[in-house]
Every structure is written in structure tokens, then in C-alpha cells.
Amino acid sequence: MINNSIYIKSQQEVFDVVIVGSGAGGGMAAHTLAKAGAKVCVLEAGQPFDPADPKDMTQMKWPYESLRRGSSSSLRNFGDFDAAYGGWDIEGEPYTRKEGTKFDWFRSRMVGGRTNHWGRISLRFGPDDFKRKSIDGLGDDWPIGYDDMKPFYDKVDKMIGVFGTNEGLRNNPDGYFLPPPKPRLHELMIKKANKALGIPTYPSRMSMLTKPINNERGQCFYCGQCNRGCSAYADFSSSSVLIKPAVNTGNTTVLPFAMAREVMTDPITGLATGVSYVHTGTMMEYSVKGKIVVLAASAGETARLLLNSKSSRFPNGIANSSGVVGKYINDSTGASRSAIIPSLFDRKRYNEDGVGGMHVYTPWWLDNAKLDFPRGYHIEYGGGMGMPNYGFGWGIEGLNGRENFTRDGIKKAAGGYGATLKEDYRRFYGAYVSFAGRGEPVPREDNYCEIDPSVVDKFGIPVLRFNYKWSDYEVKQAKHMQDTFEEIIHSMGGEAMGKKPGAENNYGLADPGRIIHEVGTARMGNDKKTSVLNSNCQAHDVKNLFVADAAPFVSQGDKNATWTILALSLRTSEYIIDQRKKGNL
Amino acid sequence: MGLSSLGLAVFNPDEKAIENLELGKVPVKRPNGRTQEEAEMEAKLKAEIFLNAHELATITILSDIIIPADKKSGSASQSGVTAFIEFIVKDKPELKTPMRGGLRWLDVESNKRFSKNFTELTPAQRLNIVDEIAYPGKTPKHLSQGESFFTLMRNLTATGFYTSKIGIADLDYKGNTPNQWNGVPDEVLKQYGLSYDA
């Protein structure tokens, strides 16, 4: 029998560094530190994952190889082939929300974390993104600026690989780019429509290898399925690109199924001594010792771990003398719309899978000083003749009865059946386009996560309770997104689908958490009363405790977080190496 | 090979420990591309019986009315739509009652008109009912529930068909194969008056 006696097993080995989490931040820290010769232990709450292992591989599978034809399930929320084990709700691992507020929390329980299925949109922050308060007085400045980060972005570009183009845009800085894939047909149409409207369209910046960069990783073969994980390791995921080579150094031990419970401390020195964890399979309790502890468990989990690591010395949780841990959590804004482009009806068939996701995008192009909301957004585009999946053909009765949607131009009855219905499905295939805005919110102290006073998960670990509300700033930004999408749709000669979202539903603004870009729960700063970490992501209160995920972010820009997580983790890791050499750690 | 085979977890319980937890349970084999949890969930769903033979026979007939064989491709039932619907209503339990109730609604309507279940009707008698529920906006008011059911059947049939081998070939989807993307074919660019130089 198991679980009759949980007993605590303590490792004898003392690692140089214990890292919690194997996603973008933890992977980069493990990779950098192990390559520098440190003995590293990585705790991962989920299971092993290797997209080249047939056991885990879903790439190149057809919809009929899934019983549910690729639909989502409670165990794979983004579809049956998506490389995310976990989801919005994980059995036995609840989280709660304060009454009247919303927050949805997506967790991947696997080596590599959420980098296994992410969109690979790899945008550096620009100079303005670090200094928003100086520009308009809202939010806070980072304690570092673009010049501090640029060398690390450059290294990440070269180490991991990203395609794109240098456009000389001030707040969307140039980088070291591989050649971008050419736009697809609908993307050329969007570009043309945008040009007429004065909206810029550029090749997207994403981390797929359009050219090989080393012998360990292959080249993109354009299946468009990056979210399933790449068996050629031709896209970036932490598991394939960072953890795997870190393990190969012989200096890294990865412990899967290890759910961190607390950061352990020395009651006398107050320094971190390691991490206690529960094995999620056996329910046995363990601890692992380290000279340095790096938390990279995700903004939410890192805050939870800090807050749960209480002792007489740290009654509010470790590194939390400021009381700031959990505060300022912020997710990207998101709103979307789709459309049908009649000129794409009955289009010629060819393979346009391309890379997984968009080949072009629109970075923020306007001046907020002239608008009624303070922060920008970028636009992501979708569409094309993709692989049919569960949901294909759904709702055709809303399309095939429309004027001008028939081949001969004669209106026919909506819905129907039989051979003419089959003709309709063929005609509409590949004529959809979609638009998604992803924007910057203003971080607020009164948006926070905290420990729920009465709820624990199945491991007995107190859970997070979220308290998050959008402000007018974000709602007005979403309105602007919707107006812009309609302009582009009309300029393309398309018909927008569904009713235009309005004030009654916040202009389609996604609930907090839904964009899965939550950051900011242990923010950096120069003042230890208003921040958790210093400018090197080192805890003000505990000098051998670091954070390497998106928790240190002071704000998130109108960019996706991953490239900055990677660059910041690299910077933090190099600082750790430097400080070790100097004997300061 | 998984990360667990890369020399990690040397001193800790690994996947074996998880497997040992399954004592007393008939082990479910983990197929490629599924987690152990998924394999167990799917084995359970497959073993469940929900729709009966009569209901499945009705679904087969309806799906072939919606997607019949034509010059280009086969029919819904030839593509395996019946088995797909049999599974998906168990996987998405919110579909169970609309499906079961809708099928019964259809039999009741068939009996009102022709004193027989739908499966026993002639093709012309079947269309007598279908024609009144297949066109949203034109449905006689008292048959609105039938329209909802037929719309659900149309959606499930289309999704099942176009995600099957036959349906994917019918759509002429060309992807899901390694290739080098070199942009939109020239003749297509010409057709739309677009170019890469603009």
C-alpha cells in the first residue's frame, strides 16, 4: 500500500542550483547554469515530454486518428493533438477567485511547461515598454531598460532562432533574424487592405527554424503544427531546446512529478537552503538542497510558492517583506473577430500550412497620446486552407443562405442537405480570416493573487485565489481593436461574422487570464518597499533566491512575454555565475 | 526516448512508480500520442454504451440524407460518421439529451404522419419531414424543435465527414505533409492581382 506513511526523504547531494519549473525561464536558467558547470536540479510538477518520442508525438496525425476528431477534452483544452497536458482546470489542483472578479489560469504539467504548445510569437520589448511611467505617469518603470536587455535578446535570437525582418522600428527593435516565410494568400490580401488604411503589416517574428542553426535541431518542414510540438525540434520549446541540452551536459538532473511545496530556509541566516516537494505519483514527501534557488514555476505558481514559504522569519512568505508578492498580476488584453472573404470562395487548392501560425502581423502603430486609452496592442492574423478538425462545417446555416454567398449569386435557403450542401462546404473552405488583438494592460496594485485562506489542493498545498478586474483603459482598447478589425474586413471586401461585440460585453475583451500571458507577481524594482526583486531578479530579502519566469515583469508591453522571459532568465543566470565567481553567493 | 530516459530521475521514483500505483486495476495500454490519463479516459468512454441499435440506424439514414455520395466522394456513413457520432455524444455529454430526444422527436413525427418509425419510411416520406426542418427560417413554427435537432445532425455529420479520410480528400486539403513553403503559386497570385513585390 502507498500513502499510509508519507515520510520525508532528504537528498544528501547539495546542488549548486535548484530550479523550480522547466518552462521558458527555468529551461534557460538550467541551460545557462549547467553549461557553465553548475550542478543543477530542476523540479517539474508534470510528466516528461519529448515531441520526438512516439509516445508523446502528435505531429502529423490526421483528425480521424483522434476519437474526437481533434476536439478538446478535459485533459487537452486546446484540442486532442495540442502539446499541453493540463489546462484551465486540473483535477485535484483547484484555484479560486474573489467574488465579483474573474481570472482563468492555464497550467501545463509537463517538462517544458507551456512552451510546448505556445504560439512561438517572439517579440522583444522596445525601449518604451520598460519606461511607461516616465512616458505617461501610469504604472511603473522597470529598474532596467532596453539597453540592459539588448545583449541578452541578441543572444537569445542567435541561440534559439527566430525569423523576422529588421524594419528599424523604434519600439519593435531589430534583431538577428532567420528568413521569414512568405505571406499566404489571405495574408497578402490583409496586407493590401491594411496599406490602404495606413495600418502597417510586417513579416511576423516567430521562433521556428526556417534555416538550420546547429546539428541538434532540424529545419522547419512547414506542417503548421507547432502547437503539437516539433519532432524535428525546429521550433522553440524549452523541453527540446533548453532542457534536453542541459541534461546532456551531465550537470542537470530533472525531477518530473515533483510538485514544489515550500522554499526551505535556514532560520539563522535566512538564506534559502532548497525546496521541499511532493511526488505527484507516489505522494511521498521529499526535499532537495541547493546553494541557490531559482523560481521559474510561472508567475502564478512562483507567487504561490513564495507566499506558502512561511516561517517565523518570513511570516508573510519568503521574500515578501514588501507585501508586494502576488500584486500587480496582469495578463494581455485580447479581443478577436472573424470574417468570410467571398473572393476566396472556390479557391484553388494547394498546401499553405506554412509555419504554425501567422506569417505577417501588425505591431502597434498609433500614438496613445492621441487616443482615449494609454497602451497599445498588436494584431495577429489567422486563416487559410488548414487541416479540417472537429467543428469544421459547423453553423453553415448562417452562411449558405446569405446574399452573394452562392456560386451563381442567387440567394438560396439557409441550411439544407444533400449534394448542394456538399458544394457549399467545398466553396467556403479556406475563405475564413480571423483577427486577434493582443494588448498591454496597465498593471494595478489592486489586481492580485493571494493564498486562499481555506482551500488546499490534493497535495495539501494552499491554493491561489485571484482578484482581477479590467479597467476602462483595457475596455477602450478592446473597442479600438473591434473598430480596426471591421475596417480591415471591409477594406478586404469581407463580411464580418457574428454581431460586433459592444459595450454590453466589453467589446469582446477576453476575461483576465484567458490570453495566458500573466506576469508581474514578484516585480523587480530599486525600492524594496515596493518591489520583491532587485534589478537582477534577486530577492531583496534573500540574496540566494532568484526568480526567472514572468513574475519579475513590471509591465508586459504590447508584446508576448516569452522572448523577454528568456532574455531576462539568461541575464539573471549570467549574474548568478558572475556573483558565484566573485564569491558573493 | 523520453526525458526520463536521458539519465534523469536517477535517485527518484520515476514513471515506474506511477505505473505501480495502478495495482489492482486492469492496466490500460497507453497508445502513442496519448497520456496514461487520456488512455484510461478513452477506454472508459469506448466501453460505455449510450445510443442503441435503432438510434444508430436512424443516425445512419439521416447522415446520408445530409451528406450523400456524389460524383466527387462517398457518403457520410461510408466515411464512418455513425461511429463518430456514437462516440462524440458520450465524450460531450451535453449532446446526449439533444441527440436522444431529437431522434425520438423524429420518430414521433414519423408516426404522426405515417404511423411508422423514421427508419421504416420510404425515402420520399423521410424527405417529407426533413424538408420542413432542414431550412432554418422556413420551418413551420410547431416543428422548431425538429429544426434544432436537424441542425445538430447537420453539424455533427459535416464535422464527422470532413474530418474523415473520404471527407479530407473531397475538400482536397493538400497539407499535413513535409514540404518547403515557397509562397502562393504564381497563377493564384495572378488570379487575385497580387504580387510579392508590392
pLDDT of residue B6: 36
Give the residue on A whose Cα is nearest the Cα of B73.
A422
Shortest distance, CA B70 to any CA of chain A (angstroms): 6
Q: In chain B, positions 50-69, which contact chain A (CB-CB < 8 Å)? A: 65-68
pLDDT of residue A340: 97
A253-275: average pLDDT: 97
Give the residue on A whose Cα is nearest the Cα of B9.
A255
Nearest partner of A161 among A89, A242, A98, A84, judged by Cα: A242
Domain-located, residue A584: yes
**What percent of chain A stands above pLDDT 90?**
96
Q: Is the pLDDT of residue A433 over 90?
A: yes
Give the residue on B whose Cα is nearest the Cα of A60.
B176
Q: How far is CA A267 from its chain centroid?
A: 36
Give the residue on A whose Cα is nearest the Cα of B172.
A349
ipTM of this complex = 0.94
Shortest distance, CA A567 to any CA of chain B (angstroms): 25
Domain-located, residue A511: no
- Identity of the residue in B3, B13, B154 whose CB atom sits nearest the CB atom of A279: B13
Give residue B150's pLDDT band: very low, low, confident or very high (50, 70, 90). very high
Helices B144-162/A419-428 angle, 10° precision: 60
CA distance A129 to A560: 12
Q: In chain B, positions 129-188, which contact chain A (CB-CB < 8 Å)? A: 130, 134-138, 150-151, 154-155, 158-165, 167-168, 170-185, 187-188
CA A340, A341, A347, A351 torsion-angle sign: negative
pLDDT of residue A6: 58
Give the cell for residue A494: 469581407
Give the residue on A whose Cα is nearest the Cα of B70.
A419
Q: Is the pLDDT of residue B146 over 90?
A: yes
In chain A, what residues touch B16 (CB-CB under 8 Å)? Answer: none
**B-interface mutation test, from A7, A64, A220, most B Cβ less than 10 A away:** A64
Residue A362, burial from CB neighbour count under 10 angstroms (0-12, 13-18, 19+)? buried
Q: Does B78 touch chain A (CB under 8 A)?
A: no
| Residue tagged 542537470 (cell numbers) | A252
CA distance A311 to A268: 11
pLDDT of residue A5: 52
The number of folded domains in chain A is 1
Q: Is the pLDDT of residue B134 over 90?
A: yes
Task: With beta carbons less than 8 A apart as the criterion, state whether A276 and A233 touch.
Answer: no
Task: With beta carbons less than 8 A apart as the criterion, state whether A472 and A107 touch.
Answer: no
CA distance A415 to B147: 10
C-beta atoms of A256 and B9 within 8 A: yes
B151-177: average pLDDT: 98
pLDDT of residue B4: 36
Per-residue pLDDT tens over the stretch B36-58? 999 999 999 999 999 999 999 99
Alpha helices in chain B (DSSP H): 15-20, 36-47, 53-66, 81-91, 96-114, 123-133, 144-162, 165-171, 186-192
In chain A, what residues touch B154 (CB-CB under 8 Å)? Answer: 396-397, 415, 417, 421
A297-305: average pLDDT: 98
C-beta atoms of A279 and B17 within 8 A: yes
CA distance A566 to A240: 15
Domain-located, residue A33: yes
CA A147, A151, A157, A163 torsion-angle sign: positive
Domain-located, residue A59: no
Per-residue pLDDT tens over the stretch B168-198? 999 999 999 999 999 999 999 999 999 998 6
Q: Does B115 touch chain A (CB under 8 A)?
A: no
Give the residue on B whose Cα is nearest the Cα of A57.
B33
CA distance A517 to A300: 11
C-beta atoms of B194 and A188 within 8 A: yes
C-beta atoms of A256 and B180 within 8 A: no
Alpha helices in A429-523 (DSSP H): 472-491
| Residue tagged 517544458 (cell numbers) | A112
In chain B, what residues touch A184 (CB-CB under 8 Å)? Answer: 184
In chain A, what residues touch B72 (CB-CB under 8 Å)? Answer: 422
Q: Does B102 touch chain A (CB under 8 A)?
A: no
Query: Parallel, antiparallel, or unpaired for β A333-340 and A432-439?
Result: antiparallel
C-beta atoms of A70 and B164 within 8 A: no
CA distance A120 to A387: 19
Shortest distance, CA A222 to any CA of chain B (angstroms): 6
**What is the domain extent for residue A323?**
1-49+105-145+238-331+518-585
Domain-located, residue A191: no
C-beta atoms of B136 and A244 within 8 A: no
Q: What secondary structure does DSSP assign to A511-563, as a single string?
A: PTTTTS--B-TT-B-S-TTT-SB-TTSBBSS-TTEEE-SSTT-S--TTS-SHH
Q: Give the A:B interface size as CB pairs under 8 Å.
A: 260
pLDDT of residue A404: 83
In chain A, what residues touch B197 (CB-CB under 8 Å)? Answer: none
Shortest distance, CA A474 to any CA of chain B (angstroms): 34
CA distance B187 to B180: 18
CA distance B38 to B46: 12
Shortest distance, CA A473 to any CA of chain B (angstroms): 36
pLDDT of residue A498: 94
Beta bridge partners of A279: A258
C-beta atoms of A422 and B80 within 8 A: no
C-beta atoms of B45 and A67 within 8 A: yes
pLDDT of residue B198: 64
Per-residue pLDDT tens over the stretch A386-427? 999 999 999 999 999 998 888 777 788 999 999 999 999 999
Domain-located, residue A131: yes
CA distance B75 to A235: 39
In chain A, what residues touch B150 (CB-CB under 8 Å)? Answer: 415
Shortest distance, CA B53 to any CA of chain A (angstroms): 20
C-beta atoms of A388 and B194 within 8 A: no
Average pLDDT, chain A: 96
Give residue B10's pLDDT band: very low, low, confident or very high (50, 70, 90). very low
Lowest mean pLDDT among A396-405, B93-102, B117-126: A396-405
Domain-located, residue A503: no
Give residue A490's pLDDT band: very low, low, confident or very high (50, 70, 90). very high
pLDDT of residue B173: 98
**What percent of chain B stands above pLDDT 70?**
86
Helices B81-91/B53-66 angle, 10° precision: 120
Domain-located, residue A21: yes
Give the cell for residue A185: 494568400
| Residue tagged 506511477 (cell numbers) | B18
Q: Is the pLDDT of residue A8 over 70?
A: no
Q: Does B119 touch chain A (CB under 8 A)?
A: no
Give residue B3's pLDDT band: very low, low, confident or very high (50, 70, 90). very low
pLDDT of residue A410: 79
Per-residue pLDDT tens over the stretch A178-217? 999 999 999 999 999 999 999 999 999 999 999 999 999 9
Amino acid identity for residue A100 in this structure: G
Nearest partner of A159 among A253, A238, A50, judged by Cα: A238
Nearest partner of A91 among B157, B55, B38, B70, judged by Cα: B38
CATH code assigned at A8? 3.50.50.60
Percentage helix, strand, coil, to 5, in chain A? 25, 20, 55
Gyration radius of chain A over CA positions: 24
Task: With beta carbons less than 8 A apart as the criterion, state whether A495 and A288 touch.
Answer: no
Beta bridge partners of A252: A40
In chain A, what residues touch B38 (CB-CB under 8 Å)? Answer: 73, 75-76
pLDDT of residue A403: 84
C-beta atoms of B175 and A224 within 8 A: yes
Per-residue pLDDT tens over the stretch A508-558? 999 999 999 999 999 999 999 999 999 999 999 999 999 999 999 999 999
CA distance A385 to A550: 35
Give the residue on B whose Cα is nearest the Cα of A243.
B3
Give the residue on A whose Cα is nearest the Cα of B134.
A416
pLDDT of residue A1: 33
Per-residue pLDDT tens over the stretch A221-230? 999 999 999 9
Per-residue pLDDT tens over the stretch A145-181? 999 999 999 999 999 999 999 999 999 999 999 999 9
